[in-house]
A and B are shown apart, each in its own frame.
Chain A
Amino acid sequence: MPFNKHLKNDILDSLGEGVFTVDKSFRINFFNKSAERITGLKREEVIGQFCKHVFNSKVCYSDCPIAIVLKSKKNLYDFESEIHCPTGITKPIKLSAAVLYNGNNEPLGGVISFRDISEFDKIKKRLAKNTQFHNIIGHDKQMQEIYTLIQDIADSDAPVLIHGESGTGKEMIANAIQATSSRKDKPFIKINCSVFPENLLASELFGHVKGAFTDAVKDRIGRFELADGGTIFLDEVAEMPLQMQLQLLRVIQEGTFERVGESITRKVDVRIIAATNRDIEAALESGEFREDLYYRLSVIPIYVPPLRERMCDIAPLTYHFLNKFSLMYKKDITEIDDEAMDIIMNYEWRGNVRELENVIEYSFVRTPNGEKITLNKLPLLIRERVYNKKKQKNNFLFNDPEKEKLIRILEKHHWNKSKAAKELGIGRTTLWRKLKQHNILEK
């Protein structure tokens, strides 16, 4: 079949994205079916018209996408704009633009493809509505108090120490503190103090000069210098080695430090937000965390409660994550049935909000598009734990570590019994027998 003009038009008409082309005077000379659907305009109406008269968008006068490509000589992708339809509706769109050149490399026209992102915007707005404070979901009284505190300290540069179990959202609190502070437009640098060995942590925080150690092949600026004038977030600060704690104390007290391998003293102006999931009292008592540093860091202490202490937030968080994953996976799953919700509400959530998010994602991907999340789509381990808890409550003590281990390993290997048996160090037949013995049904 020859690749003629009609075939090209048929191909362009079959696309889900709106596509139109213009000549070098910006008159439309092609308009595909999706462009008709999105704009509500007929091809016959727009061919030969100037694109600015068709789309009535302010960007035609300020940031014409094709003009941007002409100037930069680089194609444009996912440029956000809007169009005004003849129905009076303004639609947000994302577009890509390119310029068409002739054989002499002279521009002879342009092509724009665009898609309607109204639905995406609606979801974003819905998510924003459910968001209580800077993307943090929390209706609980303790969370409300945190929001008030963050607003109260907006004008302060005092150090903040955020306490809370793993997965409670300490980093989000830090983000909110930074975003409401007077330094919100200045650098915001984050570092997890637990992931670096002592010698590397010093280099990460304060930088180094060439030759300071074996791998120091050139000078490198540290996080404190990067954050100068802004804010630094020191996550898991209590994991910092004692020697480093001393150096940190000096930065807080004097604002000075030296790069590794250098004797020049440098000065910075950095607001410090630190976080820890450790029992800080115990760390102070055992001497793992310096008391003087603790008092310096903890001018404004914030305690983020674990999810089990804010039960009223579980349902809104669940729906927030459903909305988020609907957007991510382009699936319409917005509900969860009562049985499944009952399990979610009764689970202990030792991993807090992060664990809840992971469980919702797991259940979400297993649920067919358009359906509700049901009990059998939740991870088996969660169901088993809640059932066991209920049994214990009813004095039917049932605590079988072997069963729990079997389920955990099966979940880990997505119920691949060969892999699970291998990890358990038993044969497949033995595994089958144990599953039967513990009455573990296949998913």
Chain B
Amino acid sequence: MNEMLGNQYFMARKYSEALSVYEECVQQDKSNNLIMKKMVICYTQVGKIQKAAELLYKIIQNNLDLILFTDPLKEDCPCDELAFNLETKYDKTLKSFDYLLALGVLWLYCDLNKSIEYFTEALQLKPDNKLINSILVILTKRKKQDSKQFDHHSSWQN
């Protein structure tokens, strides 16, 4: 197991190399969420968008905070940059399912609302997709909770 080598590849933005090392690592330690969190990003960069979404779902079922509270600086997370590049470099009018799915995944590390927007758009293209439905259930539930807390906090202040 060489998580450290995987971390170096990830840090050097060599996603394919990082992924092959991380995949070996999680086979030996299936509960290592920190590695899986990075693997999701790697999958989006090597074109395995479906796998990225599946792994993301696996993480957020138990620990949505792990993704939501990502600190881009402290964790050297490239998601905001990757999402921005994807949004600016590709023809948005095409809006393919994978394109929307990748943005939904990446934005979850930075902005819950944007992530929900992209997942909802993806669902409109494939309304029967169970995985996206399930992800959206978790995310919208959290959004409601956050709103309630915010409202409660505001009314308490008033």
Contacts and interface: CB of A to CB of B under 8 A. Distances in A.
- Co-assembled chains A and B: yes
Interface of A: 24-26, 50, 52, 60-62, 64, 66-67, 70-71, 99, 106-110
A330 B11 CA distance: 39
B1 A66 contact: no
Contacts, number: 42
A52 B5 contact: no
Given A26-B7, A64-B8, A107 B2 contact: yes
Q: Which of B3, B5, B9, B13 has the most CB atoms of chain A within a 10 A radius of its CB?
A: B5
Contacts of B13: 61
Nearest to B76: A50
Interface residues of B, number: 12
Given A25-B7, A60-B11, 12 more contacts: A24-B7, A26-B8, A52-B11, A62-B12, A66-B8, A67-B5, A70-B4, A70-B8, A71-B5, A99-B4, A106-B3, A110-B4
Given A26-B11, A60-B12, A70 B76 contact: no
A50 B8 CA distance: 11
B1 A106 contact: yes
A contact face: mostly helix, strand, loop, or mixed:
mixed
Given A24-B3, A106-B1, A107-B2, A67 B76 contact: no
B contact face: mostly helix, strand, loop, or mixed:
helix
Interface string B1-31: 1111101110111000000000000000000
Interface of B: 1-5, 7-9, 11-13, 76
Contact of A24 (B4, B9, B12): B4
B75 to A, nearest CB: 9
A70 B5 CA distance: 6
A107 B12 contact: no
B4 A108 contact: yes
A50 B12 CA distance: 11
Contacts of A110: 4
A108 B12 CA distance: 18
